Chains A and B, each alone.
Chain A
Amino acid sequence: MALDPQLLEILACPDTHHAPLDHDAAAGTLTCTECGREFRIEDDIPVLLLEEARTAPVVPGPHDTDQEDDL
């Protein structure tokens, strides 16, 4: 079941910045637009607990760009 757009409107990251969340319906996740933490949606229930969030993968910075040659 899709997440109610009105619910998505009021949900925010539990961390102190309380940034909006992006919904990925296919993956069943909500991702913080600020810190990148990923929260799972389990049986239509968003689990918005910091201790159960998956931390964001490290985004390569400009100094890491030479690594792209290895990919």
Chain B
Amino acid sequence: MRGADIHDTTAVEDTHWWYRERRALLARELRRLRHRPPQRKAIEIGAAGGGNCLVMRDFGYDVLATEHLPEGVEIARARGLTAIRADARELPVDDAGQDVLVAFDVLEHIAEDDRAAAEIHRVLRPGGTALIAVPADMRLWSVFDELSGHVRRYDRHGLTTLIEGAGLRIESLRSWNVLLRPAVALRRTTTRPASESTLRHDVTAVHPLVNAALGAVVRLERHLPVGALPGVSLLLRARRP
């Protein structure tokens, strides 16, 4: 992601169907962790403008937003979050101090994703939880990925190998955005944004009716057993043993 992308996505993330459902998914995961004391410290890597951090803060976490790009950190700071500029491969925090780590849409941007995974393991306390989201399936690779600065999309095997290789124990791995995958695949193979700014506009400018319809479809997945089917993203929950 680039600095201008962060400004655009921050502007729409409260209303855009994709971001709204991602925040809802994070909130559901955090509710699941409520019974696991102590739950105090949380960190997000690749936090962009800190939208996920706000969800964690609402759950009572003492949360640290880390982001490489200055634009994201500035927005997070302006939202009252504690934010630092950092590299996910070299996290500037102590060992084993975090109860929860969130890495949504980060690993696919990093060539040395094994180093980022090792850092996720290092900074979590034993028993701490990592919540990870990545784009799924190289068959969906398109110019959208290139313009977003992705290095790869993941399959289940590759993501499992990466996360278990870092020493984490996977508790759950499922697909997300399953119902809309055919539409996404069609759009990505038939549309070619002319430039990066066209892409940003394409991602962020959604007609309100379309936004409402897509939101309704993606929310449906909460109640349907589709997590094992191919989707557009993979969601993973892992713990440091």
Measured CB to CB, the residues of A under 8 A from B are 4, 6-7, 9-15, 18, 20-21, 39, 43-50, 52
Contact = CB atoms under 8 A, between A and B. Distances in A.
Contacts of B74: 43, 45
B94 A12 contact: yes
Interface stretch (B20-28, B77-85, B140-148, B209-217): B77-85
Contact of B90 (A6, A11, A14, A44): A14
Contact of A49 (B64, B86, B95, B97): B86
A11 B62 contact: no
Contacts of A9: 94
B239 interface: no
Interface size, B (range): 20 to 34
B95 A10 contact: no
B192 to A, nearest CB: 34
B83 A14 contact: no
A10 B84 CA distance: 12
A48 B41 contact: no
B149 interface: no
17 contacts: A6-B62, A9-B94, A10-B41, A10-B64, A12-B92, A12-B94, A14-B87, A14-B90, A14-B91, A14-B92, A15-B90, A18-B95, A20-B94, A21-B92, A45-B83, A46-B92, A50-B90
Contacts of B41: 10
A33 B200 CA distance: 43
B162 to A, nearest CB: 20
A46 B91 contact: no
B93 interface: yes
Contacts of B95: 18
B68 interface: yes
Interface string B84-120: 1111001111110100000000000000000000000
